[in-house]
Amino acid sequence: MKNSNFKKYKVAVIGCGYWGSIITNSLLKIGIKKIFIFDKNYKNSLILKKKYKNLYLSKSYEDLLNDKTITFFFFATPPSINFKIVQKAIIKDKIIFLEKPGFVKINEFKKINILLEKMKKFIMFGYIYCYNDHINYMKKIIKSKMLGKILYIRFQRENLGPIRSDVNSCYDLSSHDLSIILYIFNKLPKHIRHIDYPVLKKNISDISNLHMKLDNTYIDINSSWINPIKVRTITIVGEKKMLFFDELNLDNPLRIYNKYAKYPDMSKFDKKFINSKAQIYEGNSKSIYVNKTSPLINEINHFFLSFMDKKKPLTNNKFSYKIVDFLNRIN
């Protein structure tokens, strides 16, 4: 990070579970010297304290809020409880990083937005894929028209767990893919069909299938937390070429395929004598090398730099509001 002034600040991490632990580790890696941690379950804080140095335990969220020397607050907490605790942090003049999607209810988000506007406060939401080098490169390829018109995109995000009880699989998993769509195309689909299945428990969907259309591009998002195999892939079908991203393939995650399928232009021929079968072109494929850095560290650096440069972060409250509004409309 170019500007190292951020290292002098004290930082609080609220929520010391799986993701809170990863955020804490990344903060230490970029040089934060004093990190105060709090979790409603004190055992989680103790476990995290044993893993890393330079961590300070707090038994009270209110004590952290009232400490004027602690400037930055990172929330890795369930969206169902975020409204009250984030509201308090805004009022206490804290600089906030809030893990996606932030809030479940759109009315809560509206109230937060009003408060942010009134108090002119800074907030950033953690949509990690917007800071992923491969996703950024995919965006460049799409914008370059190398693939031609984008005909179809398919997202697959599946695994066995973690299974949430506060939000469904669409909120938890599909929100990642919606953020990628919004990041690349600067808008979300309008034509939507949502099919979900509450397999394990009533009222909480474990499997979500979104079938959508964005302009002339068809998009599917398939997500599940009860799949035996972990899958993290994106398929992009263009009229000239195709692109495939496999996040779990550490050697060759991004490949471009010189392949396409299309019907012949029948306007040039007499339709009585021409068999209009689809033509398939099978060309070669190649891996695309991308200099990979940590998406989370990229995201955290962007958070600090945006604040210090007095700029709105990429994944700001308006960005996240569009996703939460979308999720509220289909769930």
- Residue 58 domain boundaries: 4-126+295-317
Q: Note whether residue 70 is domain-resident.
A: yes
Contact 141, 256 (CB under 8 A): yes
Please tell me whether residues 99 and 200 are part of one structural domain: no
Q: Note whether residue 331 is domain-resident.
A: no
The whole-number pLDDT of residue 271 equals: 58
For 217-253, the pLDDT digits (tens) are 999 999 999 999 999 999 999 999 999 999 999 999 9
Contact 70, 10 (CB under 8 A): yes
Domain containing residue 104: CATH number: 3.40.50.720
For 15-30, the pLDDT digits (tens) are 999 999 999 999 999 9
Token representation of residue 293: 């850095």
| Start-to-end CA span in the chain (Å) | 40
Q: Note whether residue 206 is domain-resident.
A: yes
Contact 49, 78 (CB under 8 A): no
The whole-number pLDDT of residue 279 equals: 87
Arithmetic mean of pLDDT, 301-325: 96
Whether 317 has a pLDDT exceeding 50, the answer reads yes
Please tell me whether residues 47 and 155 are part of one structural domain: no
Please tell me whether residues 38 and 112 are part of one structural domain: yes
In total, how many domains does the chain have?
2
The whole-number pLDDT of residue 1 equals: 44
Please tell me whether residues 164 and 48 are part of one structural domain: no
Please tell me whether residues 118 and 140 are part of one structural domain: no
Please tell me whether residues 169 and 279 are part of one structural domain: yes
Q: How confident is the model at residue 272 (pLDDT cuts 50, 70, 90)?
A: low
Domain containing residue 240: CATH number: 3.30.360.10
Q: Note whether residue 119 is domain-resident.
A: yes
Please tell me whether residues 84 and 142 are part of one structural domain: no
Please tell me whether residues 15 and 140 are part of one structural domain: no
Please tell me whether residues 102 and 236 are part of one structural domain: no
The whole-number pLDDT of residue 305 equals: 95
State the sign of the Cα–Cα–Cα–Cα dihedral 160, 162, 165, 167: negative
Q: For residues 301 and 68, what is the distance between their CA atoms, to the nearest angstrom?
A: 22
Please tell me whether residues 282 and 134 are part of one structural domain: yes
Listed in sequence order, the residues at least 6 apart from 232 whose beta carbon sits closer than 8 Å to its beta carbon are 156, 157, 246, 247, 248
The whole-number pLDDT of residue 7 equals: 76
Q: Note whether residue 179 is domain-resident.
A: yes
For 109-160, the pLDDT digits (tens) are 999 999 999 999 999 999 999 999 999 999 999 999 999 999 999 999 999 9
Share of the chain above pLDDT 70, in %: 95
Please tell me whether residues 301 and 226 are part of one structural domain: no
Please tell me whether residues 116 and 215 are part of one structural domain: no
Residue with tokens 């779990």: 248
Q: How far is CA 186 from the centre of its chain?
A: 14
Q: How confident is the model at residue 100 (pLDDT cuts 50, 70, 90)?
A: very high
Q: Note whether residue 73 is domain-resident.
A: yes
